[in-house]
């Protein structure tokens, strides 16, 4: 996760396919004609429908609106709640789901990613002590794929996503929508991805043998006609990477076909006034666009498809990351060299056993192996790949030198 990481996803070892559907539907979500099943709690508070929005107004520090849907969630699964705050700028309120609370202060899209601990979905909007009118719209809860960066902003699942090992016997799994329209992963509007005129990068592993124009990812605001994205060109299998600040579009066209059915590490970079495409750690194409190009846009990020859902990726993808930092060519090469071993047959990518509580660490400078102890045993890593393990619990210390290992 390079630099100022904003998202790290499609990094899992569970090959169970996932299907996402909207859990908050009808007037519970869009408030077209009523407030649906929302209700108030404490001291007779009652939310209303005003202008097609869920509206609540009180001077008390109480729950103003609650939605409870039984048997909606699966315990242990990750979900993402999103909603639009329409009004109430300067008038705070709190949103809570599964014990996670955020403060809502300005107009915009807000999200909470959470792990279900019960089957009942319960969403609460609670007014702060100050008075004022608040309005909410487009409440959505969907099954999510985890964002493993520090930000924790999961991606909602739209349609059926297939997950299979990246190679026979490998731990890491790949994600696929099989080229089917309207299947994708999407992160609701996230201001962290408004990069403006600054540097940024996106890195992923992908493979395809498809012959159509298909998108790896996109973030495009249709009303403003601005955004960015990357796709494969149907004519030659080359990559195209574009920045569109509206009205002009700046596109760098790749020079190498990746339509060979093999895994490739793809990195798309904006650094200063240049945009770059790297394939497997090597520069494939670049273009000078000028440093003033502004790609700030309020739009969701769509992975494995285009924003409209009509150009689904024909292939597989894994290890998707976006950063507000442009890695150096040396760093891009190292990412490829380190991660390529995870895409080999029987490649192990995790600690041995079920515990992630590390009890001891030791690095052997002579063998360049990292020894990691847990209650399940000692895992031996060569780079990112686990090449060996023991099954005896490791206590407080490991010592490793010239191939000799001692542990407590």
Kindly indicate the confidence band of residue 291, based on its pLDDT and cuts at 50, 70 and 90. confident
- Same domain flag for 249 and 272: yes
- CA gap 47, 37 in Å, rounded: 11
Q: What confidence tens digit (pLDDT) does each residue in 86-138 have?
A: 977 767 899 999 999 999 988 999 999 999 999 999 999 988 766 788 899 99
Task: Evaluate if residue 224 carries a pLDDT over 90.
Answer: no
- Picking from 118, 145, 172, the residue at the C-terminal end of a domain is 145
- Same domain flag for 119 and 52: yes
> What is the number of domains present in the chain?
3
Give the per-residue pLDDT at 58: 64
- Same domain flag for 162 and 224: yes
Domain span including residue 141: 23-145
Give the per-residue pLDDT at 295: 86
Weakest mean pLDDT among 1-10, 163-172, 224-233: 224-233
Whether 11 and 147 have beta carbons less than 8 Å apart is answered as: no
Mean pLDDT of all residues belonging to the chain: 93
In a domain, residue 337? The reply is yes
Backbone dihedral region of 69: left (phi > 0), alpha (psi from -120 to 50 degrees) or beta?
A: beta
- Same domain flag for 73 and 220: no
Give the per-residue pLDDT at 296: 84
- CA gap 322, 392 in Å, rounded: 38
Give the per-residue pLDDT at 221: 86
Nearest CA among 244, 236, 248 for reference residue 284: 236
pTM reported for the whole predicted model: 0.92
- Same domain flag for 370 and 394: yes
- Picking from 145, 172, 190, the residue at the C-terminal end of a domain is 145
Element (H, E) at 401: strand 398-401
């Amino acid at each position: 996760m390079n630099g100022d990481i904003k998202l790290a996803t499609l990094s899992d070892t569970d090959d169970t396919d996932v299907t996402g559907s909207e859990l908050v539907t009808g007037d519970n979500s869009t408030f077209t004609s009523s407030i649906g099943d929302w209700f108030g709690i404490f001291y007779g508070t009652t939310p209303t429908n005003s202008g097609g929005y869920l509206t609540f107004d009180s001077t008390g520090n109480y729950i103003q609106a609650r939605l409870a849907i039984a048997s909606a969630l699966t315990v242990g699964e990750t979900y993402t709640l999103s909603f639009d705050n329409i009004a109430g700028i300067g008038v705070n309120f709190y949103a809570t789901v599964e014990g996670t609370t955020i403060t809502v202060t300005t107009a915009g899209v807000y999200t909470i990613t959470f792990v279900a601990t019960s089957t009942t979905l319960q969403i609460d909007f609670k007014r702060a002590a100050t008075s004022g009118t608040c309005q909410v719209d487009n409440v959505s809860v969907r099954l999510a794929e985890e964002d493993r960066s520090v930000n924790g902003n999961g991606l909602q699942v739209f349609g059926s996503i297939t997950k299979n090992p990246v190679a026979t016997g490998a731990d890491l799994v790949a994600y696929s929508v099989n080229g089917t329209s309207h299947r994708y992963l999407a992160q609701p509007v996230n201001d962290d991805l408004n990069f403006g005129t600054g540097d940024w990068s996106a890195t992923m592993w992908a493979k395809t043998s498809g012959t159509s124009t298909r998108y790896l990812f996109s973030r495009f605001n249709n009303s403003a006609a601005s955004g960015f994205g990357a796709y494969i060109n149907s004519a030659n299998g080359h990559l195209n990477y574009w920045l569109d600040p509206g009205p002009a579009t700046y596109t760098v066209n790749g020079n190498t076909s990746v339509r060979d059915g093999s895994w490739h590490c793809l990195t798309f970079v904006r650094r200063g006034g240049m945009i770059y495409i790297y394939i497997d750690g090597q520069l494939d194409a670049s273009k000078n666009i000028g440093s003033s190009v502004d790609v700030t846009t309020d739009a969701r990020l769509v992975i494995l498809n285009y924003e409209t859902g009509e150009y689904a990726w024909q292939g597989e993808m894994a290890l998707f990351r976006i950063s507000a930092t442009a890695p150096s060519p040396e760093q891009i090469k190292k990412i490829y060299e380190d991660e390529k071993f995870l895409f080999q047959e029987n490649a192990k990518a995790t600690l041995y056993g079920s515990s992630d509580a590390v009890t001891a660490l030791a690095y052997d400078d002579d063998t360049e192996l990292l020894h990691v102890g847990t209650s399940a045993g000692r895992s031996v890593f060569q780079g990112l790949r686990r090449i060996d393990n023991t099954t005896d619990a490791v206590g407080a210390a490991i010592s490793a030198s010239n191939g000799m290992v001692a542990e407590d």
